[in-house]
Amino acid sequence: MYRSESAVVRAIPAGRRLPGHGRGARARGAQWRGIAHAALGNRKEAKAALAHASKLDPKLAEAANNLGVLHLADKEIEAADAALRAALNARPDFADARNGLGIALTE
């Protein structure tokens, strides 16, 4: 187990290559950093990492969805809408993104 927040976040490569090559691998690394930050309550850092992942790989629907969920939880409805629509553009059958967008549209 890790003893500090920074150790958890440092354990996930920042810009270093994960197995695989190129932008997709860097995007997955950024996505996991975002998930770690979110789990630790570092919402601003989580959003930044997930936005970076989405920019690196627009087809990484999970990163866009996670970003949308964070925006939705913070009542940032327009940002949530955009992120969730990006997730659905990447993967039209993504049920979690559809559900999140439905919630955003009712807010």
Tell me the CB-side half-sphere exposure of residue 27, using CA atoms within 13 A: 17
- The helix (run of H) or strand (run of E) holding residue 84 is helix 77-90
Question: Cα torsion at 100, 104, 105, 107 (round to 10°)?
Answer: 140
What is the pLDDT at residue 52? Answer: 96
Q: Which pLDDT tens digit goes with each residue over 29-39?
A: 999 999 999 99
Q: In this structure, how many other beta carbons lie within 10 angstroms of the beta carbon of residue 48?
A: 16
What is the pLDDT at residue 26? Answer: 87
Is the pTM higher than 0.85? The answer reads: no
Q: Which segment of 1-10, 59-68, 83-92 scores lowest on mean pLDDT?
A: 1-10
Q: What is the mean pLDDT of residues 76-84?
A: 97
Q: Which pLDDT tens digit goes with each residue over 48-79?
A: 999 999 999 999 999 999 999 999 999 999 99
The 8-class DSSP code of residue 12 comes to S
What is the amino acid identity at position 70? L
